[in-house]
Amino acid sequence: MSQEDNAAAPGNPPPMQSPHVSTDRTVDTSTLDSVVSDLIRPDMSDEQKALAVFSWWRRTVYHYGYPYMRPTEEETWQDPIKVINVHGYSLCGSQARVFGRILSRLFGEGSVRLIGYAEAEPGAWRLAEDPGAFIDSALLRRPGSRMGHTSMEVRYGGKWRLIDPHVQFYAYARDGSGLAGAEEMLADPTLVTRPARRVRGLMPCGDLSRVFYASTFVNWGALTRDAAPDDHTMDITLRPGETYTRWWDRRGPFRWFAEMDRRWDPAYIAPGPRHICEGENCWRHYGNGELIYRPRLTDDSYREGVVEQSGLSSPTARGLQPSRAGRTGRVTFEVNSPYMIVEARLHLAATRRTGSDVMRVWARRPDGRWRLVWEEPSCGRSRRSLDLTPWVGGQYGYQVRFEMKAARRPEHTALHSLRLHTTFILNYLALPRLLPGRNRVTVRVADPRQLRDRRLLVTYAWADREGEHEHTELVTRSPHTYPLRVAPVTTTPRENPKYMRFLRLEVR
């Protein structure tokens, strides 16, 4: 085999493309179409369709500050797939766009518009008394300014109707025509204060009905795909020796940006994204997951994870080494994640026999410059744990390059083993959890033929009144469907998924 060959070695099947897990009792959030498909039944009225999306939304996304002044090429809170799956939180402008894009899938793109309320004069909303769902905005460092709020309306049945995803509110018209529009409520605030039909659970963070007595209406026009493009994909490729774990909890750091430091106080930011209206014991907050990649460097299977390679001999029991003395050998591995990376570590074992030999590690983010992470200063065999986070944090992928050069004999430098441990943030409220009772789990892959040569293992872990449970399923076909039963759980409220532990996918 050519030492310059970057392709997978003959006899090694390609990595597993797009393994995906869903259940019959949760909403598949991988695309806007899958969200709509899981929520909507053909026999629903337009109002039932809109409120079904709203009911799911309020269980899945919460309000918390985000760096919305940040350039979108660095990160965007307008992509519906990212907001729902990666972050799980945002404020009114983002929530209106993302929620509105889902309704656009139902009623058509021209049927949703962005609207807003402007405070009649500074202080008219009396947020110092009870900010309710506006608490995050009320804490912004901008004293004396006039408040505003962005929401959205959907049009069906010949009229515009307000459904506020951030405040989690709607109201009914008195004429029996169904949901009222924002202009109707501003013209007659008693639609809010003395509703024609009372609905429990609206405005759960505090009563903001007074806003409708002290606001002017703003129409920003039709919500288009350009305003909130669903370009992000939740697809992932898994290689042999790689595990993909998502937790229903915090298991690592979160990621914030300098823009948030400027806009909010440290006390607000330090605990991380959370639904602060729930207080100290809030059950809605950011979650974490991890990708762990351990390529086997002693045979050609490692090539499945290689992006680029040159100047290396065929692998031996010692791992990888230069093809000859005096020549630099290089090998580049890549990690890609559908979730934002918040921490990355490289664990390696390598040999640098003499002071004339070279062993270096470089890292770069997508489309970025290579940065030197580490150069081995010691002679002999060493084990290192290197923090890659300063170079790759806040990204959705990165590359790591190993560079080795032996002055006298090729075996004087070698890379014996490596492990890439990548931690990411996620919204566990959007994960395919198991619910008490019987669940039907379905696993799919992009190419079912890959399951002939690869072993895909799917593990669910959870706790119920019968104890701690862990179930691992060997997936042999696509789609592969199997049942799992969960006993009653003790977490409250009912929407709290913290009885779930993790969902893990592994390819062997």
What is the per-residue pLDDT for 66?
84
User: Do 321 and 270 reside in the same domain of the chain?
Assistant: no
Quick one: which H or E segment has residue 353? none
**Does 138 reside within a domain?**
yes
Phi/psi for 53 (5° steps) reads -65, -40
Q: Report the CATH number that the domain containing residue 49 is assigned in CATH.
A: 3.10.620
- pLDDT confidence tier of residue 4, bands split at 50, 70 and 90: very low
- What is the rounded distance in angstroms from the CA atom of residue 334 to the CA atom of residue 304? 10
pLDDT digits (tens, 9 = 90+) for 179-224: 999 999 999 999 999 999 999 999 999 999 999 999 999 999 999 9
Mean pLDDT of 488-507: 96
User: Do 183 and 41 reside in the same domain of the chain?
Assistant: yes
- What is the rounded distance in angstroms from the CA atom of residue 154 to the CA atom of residue 152? 7
- What is the rounded distance in angstroms from the CA atom of residue 67 to the CA atom of residue 257? 7
Checking 176-180 for CB contacts under 8 A at 24+ apart, the result is 178/47, 179/47, 179/50
Is 434 strand, coil or helix? coil
Mean pLDDT of the chain: 93
Closest residue by Cα to residue 99 from 87, 118, 114: 114
**Does 20 reside within a domain?**
no
User: Do 170 and 246 reside in the same domain of the chain?
Assistant: no
What is the per-residue pLDDT for 453?
87
Of 425, 457, 492, the domain-final residue = 425
The token duo for 308 is 């680029």
CB atoms near residue 331 (< 10 Å): 25
User: Do 452 and 320 reside in the same domain of the chain?
Assistant: no
Sheet containing 215-222, strands listed edge to edge, beginning at the edge strand earlier in sequence? 159-162, 148-156, 112-119, 215-222
Of 202, 227, 252, the domain-final residue = 227
What is the per-residue pLDDT for 408?
96
Is 64 strand, coil or helix? coil
Is 50 strand, coil or helix? helix
**Does 374 reside within a domain?**
yes
**Does 213 reside within a domain?**
yes
**Does 87 reside within a domain?**
yes
Quote the pTM value.
0.95
Place of tokens 């995803």: 165
Of 425, 457, 487, the domain-final residue = 425
The token duo for 459 is 């593990």
**Does 180 reside within a domain?**
yes
Q: How far is CA 394 from CA 73, 80, 397, 398, 455, in A?
A: 12, 18, 9, 10, 31
User: Do 50 and 143 reside in the same domain of the chain?
Assistant: yes
Mean pLDDT of 39-57: 98
Q: Report the CATH number that the domain containing residue 311 is assigned in CATH.
A: 2.60.120.1020
- pLDDT confidence tier of residue 367, bands split at 50, 70 and 90: confident
User: Do 68 and 103 reside in the same domain of the chain?
Assistant: yes
User: Do 376 and 440 reside in the same domain of the chain?
Assistant: no
- Judged against a pLDDT cut of 90, whether residue 89 lies above it is answered with yes
Place of tokens 């995050």: 136
What is the per-residue pLDDT for 141?
56
Of the candidate ranges 72-86, 282-296, 370-384, the one whose mean pLDDT is the lowest: 72-86
What is the per-residue pLDDT for 1?
34
What is the per-residue pLDDT for 8?
45
User: Do 464 and 500 reside in the same domain of the chain?
Assistant: yes
User: Do 38 and 170 reside in the same domain of the chain?
Assistant: yes
**Does 7 reside within a domain?**
no
- pLDDT confidence tier of residue 73, bands split at 50, 70 and 90: low
Q: How far is CA 103 from CA 24, 199, 275, 472, in A?
A: 22, 21, 24, 37
Of the candidate ranges 71-80, 327-336, 431-440, the one whose mean pLDDT is the lowest: 71-80
Q: Can you point out the beta strands (E) in 261-390?
A: 287-293, 306-310, 328-336, 341-352, 358-364, 371-375, 380-387
What is the per-residue pLDDT for 195?
96
- What is the rounded distance in angstroms from the CA atom of residue 340 to the CA atom of residue 79? 13
- What is the rounded distance in angstroms from the CA atom of residue 312 to the CA atom of residue 404? 9
Question: Which residues, 6 or more positions from 183, have their beta carbon under 8 angstroms from its beta carbon?
Answer: 160, 217
User: Do 213 and 255 reside in the same domain of the chain?
Assistant: no
Q: What is the dihedral of CA 352, 353, 355, 361, to 10 degrees?
A: -10
- What is the rounded distance in angstroms from the CA atom of residue 296 to the CA atom of residue 345? 18
Closest residue by Cα to residue 403 from 330, 343, 347, 353: 330
Q: 328 pairs with which residues across the strands?
A: 405
User: Do 294 and 270 reside in the same domain of the chain?
Assistant: no
Closest residue by Cα to residue 308 from 386, 395, 402: 402
- Judged against a pLDDT cut of 70, whether residue 19 lies above it is answered with yes
- pLDDT confidence tier of residue 5, bands split at 50, 70 and 90: very low
- What is the rounded distance in angstroms from the CA atom of residue 52 to the CA atom of residue 44? 9
What is the per-residue pLDDT for 70?
56
**Does 5 reside within a domain?**
no
Number of domains within the chain: 3
Q: How far is CA 201 from CA 122, 186, 206, 341, in A?
A: 29, 21, 10, 35
pLDDT digits (tens, 9 = 90+) for 225-280: 999 999 999 999 999 989 999 999 999 999 887 777 677 888 888 999 999 999 88
Instruction: Give residue 89's domain range.
Output: 31-227
CB atoms near residue 365 (< 10 Å): 17
- pLDDT confidence tier of residue 72, bands split at 50, 70 and 90: low
User: Do 392 and 275 reside in the same domain of the chain?
Assistant: no
